[in-house]
Amino acid sequence: MAMQFYASPEQIMRDRSELARKGIARGRSAVVVSYAGGVLFVAENLSSTLHKVSEIYDRIGFAAVGRYNEFENLRRAGVRMADLNGLSYDRRDVTGLALANSYAQILGAIFTEQSKPFEVEICVAEVGATPGEDSLYRCTYDGSVTDEPGRMAMGGQAEAISGVLKSHHRPDMSLGDAVKVAVQALSTVGGEGGAARTIAGHQLEVAILDRNRRGRTFRRITGAALTGLLDGDAAGEAVAEGDRAQTPTTPTEEGHKPTTSAGSADLEDKPGDKSDT
């Protein structure tokens, strides 16, 4: 009679952690930083349809690295949960912390109960009335959740990228400066022989949560606006910043304003395969 193979629980957890970390490290990196006008997302992404950065709710954004099919399922679940809570109670009851805790519970259950963990790392960002009130939450494959201090990096060589962000990031930066710092941090890794590299605009996915907008604050920056930011063009930054004529509102004030369901437009299935991004 053949004997069954035995592995201790500690070894099983180590093997699952190693599998998840390797999968995340293979993915291209993403950076999330707080700046004077809101929260900035910058991710390396060659696809124009398989997004790594998306909207969850009025003032909440989502960024992820790892396996696309896995973090896309989590994003869709977050959009549904946010919409349900906002419609059942009040839009002000939908917070980044609540979503981060829900993601942590889901990832923790998958990590301990299933044979294969999710190979993903997630950021849930909520923009506040001031940079000091912005919230960035990191959710990892094992269900851990941490509150990041206004900046964070995910994906391969995240520690090296985080070091550059720590040296150059300031909460009072303009959008143009924040984009430059994020791209500089991403460019410091992945080059030949450890050298810095150049990342073109079409290789980047850039979006912001604009604290000066009413209702839905998430906006993508593409085309000429993104090119202008990368080139340091003041006119390009003005285009990217958008119309600032409207009066800024706090989350409490806009909680009673009827807006369309944030994130619902992104619930449809996207074309393409489900490979790592």
pLDDT in single tens digits along all 277 residues of the chain: 566 677 788 888 999 999 999 999 988 999 999 999 999 999 999 998 999 999 999 999 999 999 999 999 999 999 999 999 999 999 989 999 999 999 999 999 999 999 899 999 999 999 999 999 999 999 999 999 999 999 999 988 899 999 999 999 999 999 999 999 999 999 988 777 767 788 989 999 999 999 999 889 999 999 999 999 998 766 556 656 664 444 444 444 444 444 555 554 454 444 444 445 5
Q: Does any domain span residue 8?
A: no
Q: State the burial class of residue 247 (Cβ atoms within 10 Å of its Cβ: 0-12, 13-18, 19+).
A: exposed
The number of residues in the chain equals 277
pLDDT of 157 reads: 85
**pTM to 2 decimals?**
0.84
DSSP state of 67: B
Is 138 within 8 Å of 148 (Cβ atoms)?
Answer: yes
Phi-psi region of 100 (alpha: psi -120 to 50; beta: other; left: phi over 0): alpha
Give the DSSP H or E segment for 23. helix 9-26
Nearest Cα to Cα of residue 207 among 18, 23, 100, 62: 62
Please give the C-alpha separations between residue 55 and each of 36, 60, 78, 220, 265, in angstroms, as whole numbers: 20, 7, 10, 10, 9
Q: Does any domain span residue 106?
A: yes
Q: Which residues pair with 276 in a beta bridge?
A: 67
Is 54 within 8 Å of 263 (Cβ atoms)?
Answer: yes
Between the two ends of the chain, the Cα-to-Cα distance in Å is 46
Please give the C-alpha separations between residue 240 and each of 80, 174, 228, 250, in angstroms, as whole numbers: 29, 11, 8, 22
* Number of domains forming the structure of the chain: 1
* Phi, psi at 47, each rounded to 5°: -95, 140
Q: Does any domain span residue 243?
A: yes
Cα dihedral 66, 226, 152, 146 in deg (nearest 10): -70
Phi-psi region of 34 (alpha: psi -120 to 50; beta: other; left: phi over 0): beta
Give the DSSP H or E segment for 184. helix 175-187
pLDDT of 30 reads: 95
For the chain, the helix, strand and coil percentages under 3-state DSSP, each to the nearest 5:
40, 20, 35
**CATH number of domain containing 165:** 3.60.20.10
Q: Does any domain span residue 231?
A: yes
pLDDT of 263 reads: 55
Q: Does any domain span residue 131?
A: yes
The type of residue at 136 is L
Q: Does any domain span residue 277?
A: no
For 121, the domain range is 27-253
Q: Which residue has the tokens 């679940």?
A: 77
Q: Does any domain span residue 276?
A: no
